């Protein structure tokens, strides 16, 4: 038990160190992706935008979890807040909404989310509905086979 906690604490420290390093390097990504830069990297701005989105989502998810709500609720609220900051006069993240690569990745994420939800619903329906339906149909066929249910033999 203590060994597991020590490993979890180590993993948490590594993840925090990685996040700190990513945040420290994010201005470098932004400057490298500027259109007028001599060595402009077209992927750098996309990586920066994704880092901002993921950081906001993780912070929103953590905040929601601390209030006893599902993390996905906090992630969605963080996305809504990030997308509507321009209404408050903060235009720093306006480029996120105009980036076609981020838009394509967002649409792909919605598609994967809907697919995953569909899979979960299929599993729930299968586990909840199939056993009673199977019992009912087997009982009805058994009654029809022994002549107890004449309505089951009609076409």
Domains contained in the chain, number: 2
Greatest CA separation for the chain: 87
Tokens of 85: 């900051």
Domain that holds residue 106: 99-155
- The DSSP secondary structure of 42-70, one letter per residue, reads HHHHHHHHHHHHHHHHHHHHHHHHHTTS-
Are 54 and 10 part of one and the same domain? Answer: yes
Are 89 and 144 part of one and the same domain? Answer: no
- pLDDT, one tens digit per residue, over 83-117 is 888 888 888 778 777 888 888 888 998 898 888 88
Are 61 and 128 part of one and the same domain? Answer: no
Q: Say what the alpha-carbon torsion angle 25, 26, 27, 33 is, to the nearest 10 degrees.
A: 110
pLDDT band at 16 (very low <50, low <70, confident <90, very high): low
- CA dist., res. 41 & res. 69, Å (int): 39
- CA dist., res. 117 & res. 104, Å (int): 20
The model's pTM is 0.53
């Amino acid at each position: 038990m203590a060994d597991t906690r020590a490993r979890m604490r180590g993993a948490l420290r590594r993840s925090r160190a990685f996040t700190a390093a990513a945040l420290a390097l994010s201005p470098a990504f932004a400057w490298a992706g500027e259109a007028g830069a001599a060595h402009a990297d077209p992927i750098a701005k996309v990586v920066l935008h994704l880092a901002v989105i993921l950081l906001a989502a993780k912070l929103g998810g953590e905040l929601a979890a601390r209030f006893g709500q599902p993390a996905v609720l906090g992630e969605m609220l963080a996305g809504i807040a990030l997308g509507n900051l321009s209404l408050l006069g903060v235009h720093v993240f306006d480029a996120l909404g105009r980036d076609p690569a981020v838009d394509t990745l967002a649409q792909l994420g919605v598609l994967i989310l809907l697919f995953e939800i569909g899979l979960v619903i299929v599993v729930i329906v299968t586990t909840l509905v199939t056993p009673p339906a199977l019992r009912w149909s087997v009982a009805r066929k058994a009654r029809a086979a022994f002549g107890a249910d004449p309505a089951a033999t009609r076409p």
